[in-house]
């Protein structure tokens, strides 16, 4: 395949702007998927993606396209598309996919216009120096503001309005025109078949029969089944079981060449040996220069995870290793808690990332988990002036000298009509105003700084609520600032539940305490005895609620008769509940822990 017959590109946008639907139309136009097998959001293969209506994992697909099918001499093009997520928690997936391509379709919703994550993804694409094709989607909707959105996009990119495509991915309007133009505008990759083989791993997955399957962009040379390979970073070796392309299922081919995107089945059964961003080369070429990999993402949200059954600890460990293959942003390390045994401290890029990963552990590996409260990483100075990193409340030292917490710069785009409510929300979460400006005729752009801990709960949901779903946000970490923070402990039935403890500002501790005990009262299932729920700070109880006992009507079978008999039955029931309370072990459902900090 010659250079000008390969096109490698991605679709990037804010969440829910139509990336997956546009990918569907491309699959149909190129006859990659037959009409009988086609269904909406075809590339979103995970159950969680379909349930939530979002893309979680990048999806590569190879399409064969003939732009002028009516002519016998028409050229055949190989189109390698990578469909990317739109949510800010999965921006690392986007950055990895951008490094494997030469061009990007920047998709904008004609109803909602440019959103915060549109700007963030645009910045990533510009850093990779990709050719951008601006596209406005959903022009078929009655409420579409196509011309207004076109002006916004033209001003943002400093281009003419006639350079922007207007399409409907749902109906297919102008999609073929876009696909034909894509071939002309996006350059083909540089082909270097004569050089020693080098390929960059941009994703991977585990297959119980084939071992680790590496998703690669081949930069130099070519590779075939049966050849020896080595991994330059890990220094591990393997033998190629298969090479192939994504149709979108794994489809073997004879040879994978420079300029192509495809997969290599390594035969390696230890997931930890394969690293995303590593360079694959042939065993005889191990001295060649490795390709530029990816910057390791830093986790922002930390959650403690424990198996309900301690015999599942190794299963949980292996599950993490397999998930790490196609989610290099996942961080985990073993930890032990006296009441729960062995588990893991896990790091995620955000609350949604944590929620998705936990759900995948439950569904894909049949694990029952106990989930701790999401926390951020704090820098704490003890009385001797020694600095330590604290990832969960259980490790919080007594009487720290100073505490530093991570802050972020938050960018919000909101309609002018909801501006005052958004201002109030940001202020209530401890935000510091930096800047604001008109983004378009009826939308405003805000820049704030606020503590990262404010974002890991229900901030995003509240932003959507106050703006009726029209506001959007993106953020980046800017460093640590000193904070006046304390540890708020929760006691249930007189026992401290460290997984529910959290770090809060001293000025908000009483409000948070009352809110937490009330919420726990709602979430905890009723027991056969009354359960006390208390909040404590520095040994002092500052809030309390009681979950009433679930009771059975023991006098229901009695009709009339002496009241003394009824009273004896009630007294007997009361004493039984008191004994049960003394001996009873309260088991908190795993879902309670995470719901405490991720829902209203």
Please give the DSSP secondary-structure letter assigned to residue 368: -
DSSP string covering 435-498: EEEEEETTEEEEEEEEEGGGTSSSHHHHHHHHTTT--EEEEEEEEEEE--EEEEEEEETTEE-G
The length of the chain, given as a count of residues = 600
Give yes or no for a contact between 42 and 59, defined as CB atoms under 8 angstroms apart: no
Q: Please state, in angstroms and rounded to a whole number, the distance separating the CA atoms of residues 580 and 573.
A: 10
For residue 23, which of 1, 37, 52, 43 has the smallest C-alpha distance?
43
Give yes or no for a contact between 102 and 188, defined as CB atoms under 8 angstroms apart: yes
Q: Please state, in angstroms and rounded to a whole number, the distance separating the CA atoms of residues 483 and 8.
A: 47
Q: Please state, in angstroms and rounded to a whole number, the distance separating the CA atoms of residues 319 and 369.
A: 12
Both tokens assigned to 79: 């189109």
State residue 579 phi and psi, 5-degree precision.
-65, -40
Q: How far is CA 514 from CA 163, 393, 458, 533, 534, in A?
A: 56, 19, 17, 10, 9
Q: Please state, in angstroms and rounded to a whole number, the distance separating the CA atoms of residues 558 and 574.
A: 18
Q: Please state, in angstroms and rounded to a whole number, the distance separating the CA atoms of residues 166 and 462.
A: 32
Q: Please state, in angstroms and rounded to a whole number, the distance separating the CA atoms of residues 270 and 322.
A: 9
3-state helix, strand, coil in the chain (%, to 5): 30, 35, 35
Checking DSSP bridges between strand 198-207 and strand 237-239, what pairing results, if any?
unpaired
How many C-alpha atoms does 122 have within 13 Å on its Cβ side?
Answer: 17
For residue 502, which of 555, 550, 454 has the smallest C-alpha distance?
454
Binding-site sequence positions for GTP: 16-21, 137-140
Handedness of CA 123, 126, 128, 132 (dihedral sign): positive
Both tokens assigned to 255: 């040879």
Give yes or no for a contact between 35 and 42, defined as CB atoms under 8 angstroms apart: no
Binding-site sequence positions: 16-21, 137-140
For residue 203, which of 77, 294, 335, 80 has the smallest C-alpha distance?
294
Q: Which residue has the tokens 């990963």?
A: 357
Name the 3-class secondary structure at 347. strand
Contacts of 586 (CB under 8 A, 6+ apart): 492, 493, 495, 527, 531
Instruction: State the burial class of residue 140 (Cβ atoms within 10 Å of its Cβ: 0-12, 13-18, 19+).
Output: middle
Give yes or no for a contact between 239 and 294, defined as CB atoms under 8 angstroms apart: no
């Amino acid at each position: 395949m010659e250079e000008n017959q390969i096109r490698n590109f991605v679709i990037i946008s804010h969440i829910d702007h139509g990336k997956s639907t546009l990918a569907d139309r491309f699959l149909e136009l190129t006859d990659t998927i037959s009409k009988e097998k086609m269904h909406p959001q075809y590339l979103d293969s995970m159950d969680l993606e379909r349930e939530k209506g979002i893309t979680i994992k990048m999806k590569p697909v190879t399409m064969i396209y003939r732009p002028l099918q009516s002519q016998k001499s028409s050229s055949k093009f190989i189109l390698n598309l990578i469909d990317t997520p739109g949510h800010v928690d999965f921006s690392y997936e986007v950055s990895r996919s951008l490094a494997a391509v030469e061009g990007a379709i920047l998709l904008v919703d004609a109803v909602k216009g440019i959103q915060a994550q549109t700007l963030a993804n645009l910045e990533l694409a510009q850093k990779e120096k990709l050719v951008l094709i601006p596209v406005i989607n959903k022009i078929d909707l009655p409420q579409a503001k196509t011309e207004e959105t076109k002006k916004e996009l033209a001003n943002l990119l400093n281009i003419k309005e006639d350079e922007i495509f207007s399409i409907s991915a749902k109906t297919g309007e102008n999609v073929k025109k876009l696909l034909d133009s894509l071939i002309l505008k996006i350059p083909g990759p540089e082909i270097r078949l004569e050089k020693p083989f080098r390929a960059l791993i941009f994703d991977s997955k585990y297959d119980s029969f084939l071992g680790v399957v590496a998703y690669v962009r081949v930069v130099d040379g070519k590779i075939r089944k049966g050849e020896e390979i080595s991994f330059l970073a890990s220094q591990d070796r393997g033998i190629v079981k298969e090479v192939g392309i994504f149709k979108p299922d794994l489809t073997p081919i004879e040879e994978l060449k420079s300029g192509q995107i495809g997969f290599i089945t390594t035969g390696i059964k230890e997931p930890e040996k394969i690293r995303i961003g590593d360079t694959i080369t042939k065993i005889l070429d191990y001295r060649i220069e490795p390709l530029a990999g990816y910057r390791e993402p830093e986790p922002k949200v930390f959650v403690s995870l424990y198996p309900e059954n301690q015999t599942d600890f190794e299963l949980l460990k292996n599950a993490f290793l397999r998930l790490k293959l196609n989610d290099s942003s996942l961080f985990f390390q073993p930890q032990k808690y006296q009441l729960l045994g062995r588990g893991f401290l896990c790091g995620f890029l955000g609350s949604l990332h944590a929620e998705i990963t936990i759900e995948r552990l439950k569904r894909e590996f049949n694990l029952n988990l106990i989930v701790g409260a999401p926390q951020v990483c704090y820098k704490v100075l003890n009385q001797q002036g020694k600095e330590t990193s604290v990832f969960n409340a259980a490790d919080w030292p007594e009487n720290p000298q100073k505490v530093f917490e991570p802050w972020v710069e938050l960018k919000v785009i909101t309609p002018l009509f909801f501006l005052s409510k958004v201002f109030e929300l940001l202020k209530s979460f401890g935000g510091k105003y930096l800047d604001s400006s008109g983004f378009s005729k009826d939308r405003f752009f805000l820049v704030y700084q606020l503590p990262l801990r404010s974002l890991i709960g229900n901030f995003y949901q509240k932003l959507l609520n106050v703006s009726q779903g029209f506001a959007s946000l993106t953020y980046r970490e800017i460093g640590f600032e000193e904070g006046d923070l304390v540890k708020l402990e929760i006691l249930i039935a007189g026992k401290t539940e460290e997984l529910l403890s959290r770090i809060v500002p001293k000025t908000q501790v009483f409000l948070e305490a009352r809110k937490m005990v009330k919420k726990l009262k709602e979430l905890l299932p009723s027991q056969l005895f009354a359960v006390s729920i208390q909040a404590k700070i520095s040994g002092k109880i500052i809030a309390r609620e009681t979950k009433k006992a679930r009771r059975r009507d023991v006098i229901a079978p009695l009709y009339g008769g002496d009241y003394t008999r009824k009273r004896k039955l009630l007294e007997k029931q009361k004493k039984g509940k008191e004994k049960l309370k003394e001996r009873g072990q309260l088991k908190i459902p795993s879902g309670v822990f995470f719901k405490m900090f991720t829902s209203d």
